[in-house]
Structure 1
Amino acid sequence: MSKLYELSTDFQNLFDMFEEINNWSPDTDADGQPIDSEGNVIENPTAYKVQMLNGWFDTLEGIEGEFEMKAENIAAFIKSLKAQSDILKNEETALKKRRDTKDRQIESLKTYLLNQMKAIGRKKIDMPKAVISIRNNAPSLVVDDELELINWAEENDMDSFLNYQLPKIKKSEVKKACKDNMNIPYVHMESKESLTIK
């Protein structure tokens, strides 16, 4: 059985052959008689050409049938995969919501427990189901005023404190301007083909 891309090549070859058949005229032998590619005399060149065209159409129908069947099967498989993907996406969304809820509950209860232990001066609780302890984490930086810190860093040549980023292009605005026939260099509008399966 041919692969789908091989059938596509067959289509191209077949259409090339159609041109050859349409432009065909027989060679002749030493006596001036029309002959085929194997040197056999052709009694009726017109009928011979019609026969070649009929054979071409039969081949086309065979390839079309096989191609369409393969394309349909692949499209059906794509639809099946899409349905599975949608189910997984919905499950992922639902699971993420559930996980986020659990994470918020965890943080809330940990904060409550930490505050309660600090309130009664307990650093550790050792129980059969859990060992709970308060530890001193490594210091983390807290920026009190971002804008003032940025200004200070720039004024004092402390660029190593700052992360400079290139401006980002607002493609939606540029696209709108292009649609309004504004002449903008370094961009162009382009349409691409896509496959739809229903």
Structure 2
Amino acid sequence: MRRRDLLDFAILGLLHEGPLHGYELRRRLNDALGAFRALSFGTLYPRLKALLERGWLVEDRSQAAPGKRPRITYALTDSGREHFATLAAQTDPAAWDDEGFDVRLAFFGHTERDVRLRILEGRRSRLEERLDSMRRATYESRERMDTWTTELQRYGEETTEREVRWLSELIEAEHHGTTNRPPASGPEQASSNPPSSPHDQDQ
């Protein structure tokens, strides 16, 4: 249910920016939103049909050449815009879990500031808890781990630390009202000394 609802939110969010036909909608879901990189038409079209039945979308069937299927373009209705706004205002824990956070972040341009802050702070808290757990596990098993397992653990910890720092930058900017979009650095460049992965040891 959660993944289905997340897909519905993403579809409504992309169509909030303008009408799209099914092929372009799938391409943008695949390319821009990591949670849906393996999305098939067999998954997408049933969701579009469900959204049409709820009155949140309308479709336009353009004229096609003889013998070819019509090109269908999907667009939001006023009801669909209202429903998207309702979803964008939600701040339940699903908004900052691993799958949901990336999708919610992609549509922060349509999200109120206090909601953005709640999601960012929830994500940071989730990662801080994960980091504490990772460090505990490393400490308790350090004598049993070989070099490569140790490197993998270190890489995971430093990657999580970078994302926590990046989130802190976003939260600070939101508190000061100094940004309308994420900083250019992003989570992967929040540290001037990025960790090396186990693969780097072979280079």
TM range (shorter): under 0.3
Greater relative CO, 1 or 2 (CA 8 Å, sep 6+): 2
With normalisation by structure 2, the TM-score equals: 0.26
